[in-house]
Chain A
Amino acid sequence: MVLIIFEGRFSTLDSAEIIKFENVSYKLENSNALNDFSFTLNKGENLVIFGPENSGLEIICAITAGLIKVYQGSVNFKGREIKTLDYLDSYSVRKEIGYLQKDYGLISNMTVFENIALPLRYHSHLSGFEIDNLVNNLIEQMNLWHCKDLRPVNLRKSEVLRTAYLRAVSFDPELILVEHSLEGQCQINAQTFLRSLKKESFSGSKSVIFITYYPRLFTDLSDNFIMLFEGNTVFSGNRSDFISTDNEYVRQYLESSLEGPMKIL
């Protein structure tokens, strides 16, 4: 069991392993998109993976979601090797992962309500009435009631984010992947959203992986941080390590300095 302190609250979490990357390497035509990458995320833990562009951040999401299956090493999601999953199991695993995309991917000809209800209508055995109640509750919790019948084109950015988040978690997944989703948002929207995320997701036993270019946004939130550069892990540590590190990659990245080991251009 792991004891975590979160916003003054204590909660005990089962340390069951949710996802484990072991020596994962993935090659693109000319370069190593990901090289010997490993981490383990237990139930209730969260992790920030950051780094500059072209560091392999997006590959991690794609592998976790089973979109990429040809790689070296192993990726276990709740004890199941992702690359050996068959056609039906691949889809089955995805419904256990709430994926908040960079582009949000809301279905443009569906309303906010229909977007959130979509995974439930497709996957769940709940009746239509039960789904309606559940979705209405979620909409109310995230203050989207005023726009529940609007389509994505009529929404503000923060409303799009919250709708996409509710769609990702409506089926109550154990793992949530947040892929650059806060990066087009204004700071206040991002912080408001993170506060909701803390309240809703972290109170239980959900695990969250944040893929981001802005790790500082998650300093108060995340337990662990990993930095990638050109597919290699250049930093890995917990929150206090991240705050106090003198790792030259992290320092250069956080200070947006052109001087250091990373030559981007």
Chain B
Amino acid sequence: MSLTGKILKLRNGIVNFYKYTESIIISFRSIKHLRFRSILTIAVNQTKFTGVDALPLIASIALIIGATVIIQATKNFPKFGIEGFIGNLLVLIIARELGPLITAIIVISRSGSAIAAEIATQKQRKEILSLELIGIDTKLYIVLPRIIASTLSIFSLIIIFDIVAFIGGYMIATTIVYMPISSFFRTLQEAFSFEDLIITLVKSVIYGILIPLISCYYGFMTKSFFEIPIQVSRAVMRTLFIIFIINALISVLFYF
């Protein structure tokens, strides 16, 4: 494909995604007719799948990351007085960057792919059409509970990731260097600001909206059963790409 063709394809993709997002916004007009009990089960199931079921994986990775950061720090920085900056290091690397990013990557891999595959299959099995024919606004009914579930789950998972990484990091660190618990958590507390919490919240909301939004988009885009794996792959790769960009933008915006 020529460069012009690629640019045109990109432009069409952006226009389509814009129209899709616009249709989601328009669908909020019917929110007053929506009985929340009808989306409650979806929201609960999605929260369980995205949040609760991902906990063991998130905790394991957080533990490994926390430990790795501490080991690298103790290996490459002077051991004397390390307790003075270990909190800063953990907040800088884990709380601000790795926690939200790794959580988003796991959510995209597990839930984003599942959402895209589920919607694509439902579309091909005419289930989406049947919802429309019942008089259900599918954009609202399908996307809204997933956004709610995803936002709640991502925020909780980031907090849990940070806590496990801090505790895991400390436990590993104590096997290598002596570090009083009080001084470790004091430096951590001093390093962790209210701004960090707000930024975590901002990232959770942005990721929580974008991940299901993009995944649903690729699910809705599917035109045949044959296309399902292709669209799922696109959903994962493009959401990852966008999340990396957004993560960098937020960091530049708030910390630079």
Which residues does chain B contribute within 8 Å of A118, judged by CB atoms?
38, 134, 136
B79 to chain A, nearest CB (A): 55
Q: Tell me which of B35, B130, B135 contacts A106 (CB under 8 A).
A: B130
Interface residues on A, range: 20 to 34
A99 at the interface (CB under 8 A from B): yes
> How far apart are the CA atoms of A108 and B118 in the complex, in Å?
10
B121 partner residues in chain A, CB cutoff 8 A: 108
Given the contacts A99-B133, A119-B134, A105 and B125 also touching, CB distance less than 8 Å: yes
| B130 to chain A: closest residue by CB | A105
One of B26-34, B58-66, B86-94 at the interface: B26-34
- State the B residues within 8 Å of A (CB): 26, 29-30, 33-35, 37-38, 41, 118, 121-122, 125-127, 129-137, 141
> Is the CB–CB distance between A122 and B34 below 8 Å?
yes
Check if B30 sits within 8 Å of A94, measured CB to CB: no
With contacts A94-B133, A118-B38 known, is A103 near B125, CB below 8 A?
Answer: yes
Main secondary structure of the interface of B (DSSP, over half): helix
Instruction: Give the chain A neighbours of B41 by CB distance below 8 A.
Output: 114
Assuming the A-B contacts A95-B135, A107-B131, are A122 and B141 also in contact, with contact meaning beta carbons closer than 8 angstroms in the complex?
A: yes
With A65-B133, A67-B132, A118-B134 as known contacts, state yes or no: A87 contacts B30, CB within 8 Å.
yes
Q: Min CB distance, B38 to chain A, in Å? A: 4
| Residues 179-214 of A at the B interface (beta carbon under 8 Å) | none
Closest to B134 in A: A119
Smallest distance from the beta carbon of B132 to chain A beta carbons, Å? 7
Which residues of chain B have C-beta atoms less than 8 A from A145's C-beta? none
Q: Is A245 an interface residue (CB 8 A)?
A: no
What residues of A have a CB within 8 angstroms of the CB of B118 in the complex?
109
Complex Cα distance, B125 from A106, in Å, reads: 9
Residues of A within 8 A of B135 (CB): 91-95, 119, 122-123
Q: Which among B29, B125, B133, B134 is the interface contact of A122 at CB below 8 angstroms?
A: B134
Known: A94-B135, A95-B135. A105 touches B127 (CB 8 A): yes
Q: Which positions 116-135 of chain A face chain B at CB distance < 8 Å?
A: 118-119, 121-124, 128
Q: Please, which residues of chain A bring their CB within 8 A of the CB of B130? A: 99, 101, 104-107
Excluding A104-B130, A128-B37, A167-B134, 7 further A-B contacts by CB distance (< 8 Å) are A94-B132, A99-B133, A105-B126, A108-B127, A122-B35, A122-B134, A122-B135
Quote the shortest CB–CB distance from A49 to chain B (angstroms). Answer: 18
Nearest B residue to A114 by beta-carbon distance? B41
Chain A nearest Cβ from B83, distance in angstroms = 51
Query: Contacts A94-B134, A101-B129 given: A121-B38 contact, CB under 8 Å?
Result: yes
Which residue of the partner chain B has the closest CB to A92? B135
What chain B residues lie within 8 Å of A121 (beta carbons)?
35, 37-38
Q: State the Cβ distance, A100 to closest chain B Cβ, in Å.
A: 9
Shortest Cβ gap from A184 to chain B (Å) = 14
Which residue in chain B gives the minimum CB-CB distance to A103?
Answer: B126
Question: Can you name 7 A-B residue pairings with CB atoms under 8 Å?
Answer: A88-B33, A99-B133, A105-B125, A105-B126, A105-B130, A106-B127, A123-B35
